[in-house]
Homo-oligomer: A and B are copies of this chain.
């Protein structure tokens, strides 16, 4: 059984007595730190380079702007009420701290429908199933059927005689028949689970079960390749139940911002971080000019690829960690359509279509079901694919999304209205999606950032084992607040402080 994660309550004993904490970065980690520290009696100043708070917890709506390096700033032109989550779009049910903050801050949540058997797999230009839209239920149930059939056959051939008792073997055979939907000869011949060629209905309409795809066809079209077949759905972080904030994930950021607004300076870009023998001095520039700010302690949540270019007097060990820990490349495009054709025509409500091309994934919105218009995430890709896509101009990214997307949804041609794309590794003040550790960097660089460098503490998803997740930001915030408060009040506070 799962051991209880940190309990929700975070009532540390003792007071910060007005000590001044300068927090660099107004994302979730920075704002959550300020929120908790303020409760404990600290004075906080959050310096946020952008004109908005929230960092990667950002939903793109009409009027949202972004700045990628070496390009003009762009502004989203979407219809009112429509949005897409450019950053985090999913909350796993076991990320209790994220759900806790939703509850504490009054942010309503709704199910994010990550698993949808009605969405498609699409293998562009590969094998016998090339360029066919195949429902996830067809892939999953056909493959499950074939594998159950293969294992049943092996067992009948005596291949497992040593592994299981005779009685247990019989039970496994019964299980396989049910699991795979096998016939009485232990053969997989398709079942209603994979869907119907003709739907069942009233009167004389019993329905007609679709014909199974061949196992060899799946294999040759690459649908069983580990990077295509969606085992991601099995992972702990992507299993249902998943949630999203109603109205856009940045409702969480906005709710936090409301709590810490007195401490928050927007448009304040940090240019220098200097540890002093007593306290810390931070230089930042805003629309007016350059400023210096002195505090007792600093929490730096700035993403490492950005921090790497900010002047500082950190130790060599810390500087090396900042330079060596890598971030991934990732991007999304939001495509606004006149009509929710994926629901009306394709009967896809939420979930993900998987492709082998540069789109990688199409996300269908988990809100406004049966509504009029909607925004699809036309691609959500990573690494080399995100690298290639990110190099394109905004217009060419849109072109790519439309050209590849219309292979799956020809309705794109008639229904498309507008796009907005974000390449996180090219986005100013981010320069990466999230921290990606190798065994080596986790071992040799990560520990340097877990302890303070003088009076500077580090926090963010990159200082956790919950990389990419909002929960990482929240857990890290609580962890660093525990450390600072322990130091200031002379207590031994071990994070997580309550179980």
Interface residues of A (CB under 8 A from B): 1-3, 5-6, 93-94, 96, 99, 102-103, 109-111, 113, 115-118, 132-133, 135, 137, 140-141, 143-144, 147-148, 150-151, 153-155, 157, 159-160, 163-165, 168, 171-172, 174-179, 181, 192-207, 210, 215-216, 219-220, 224-226, 229, 231, 234-236, 239-241, 243, 347-351, 366, 369-370, 450, 463-466, 472, 475-476, 478-480, 495-496
CB contacts (< 8 Å) of A2 on chain B: these are 135, 195-197, 199, 210, 347
Closest to A5 in B: B199
CA gap between A266 and B366 in the complex, in Å: 39
Contact between chains at B116 and A240 (CB < 8 Å): yes
CB contacts (< 8 Å) of A198 on chain B: these are 3
Contact between chains at A472 and B240 (CB < 8 Å): no
Contact between chains at A466 and B202 (CB < 8 Å): yes
Residue of A154, A202, A495 ringed by the most chain B CB atoms within 10 A? A202
3 smallest beta-carbon distances between A and B, as pairs? A154-B154, A178-B226, A200-B465
Closest to A193 in B: B234
- For residue A423, give the distance in angstroms from its CB to the closest CB of chain B: 28
Contact between chains at B109 and A111 (CB < 8 Å): no
CB contacts (< 8 Å) of A103 on chain B: these are 370
CA gap between A343 and B163 in the complex, in Å: 40
Contacts A103-B370, A236-B137, A465-B201; A110 near B111 (Cβ below 8 A): yes
* A–B complex contacts, Cβ < 8 Å, 5 sampled: A150-B160, A154-B155, A168-B216, A193-B239, A203-B476
Contact between chains at B349 and A219 (CB < 8 Å): no
B109, B143, B176, B479: the one contacting A203 at CB < 8 Å is B479
CB contacts (< 8 Å) of A3 on chain B: these are 196-199
Contact between chains at B202 and A464 (CB < 8 Å): yes
Contact between chains at A370 and B99 (CB < 8 Å): yes
Query: Knowing that A93-B116, A202-B463 are A-B contacts, what are 16 other residue pairs whose CB atoms are under 8 Å apart, sorted by A's residue number?
Result: A2-B196, A2-B347, A5-B201, A93-B348, A93-B349, A115-B240, A117-B241, A137-B236, A150-B160, A154-B159, A154-B160, A164-B216, A171-B224, A181-B234, A202-B464, A240-B240
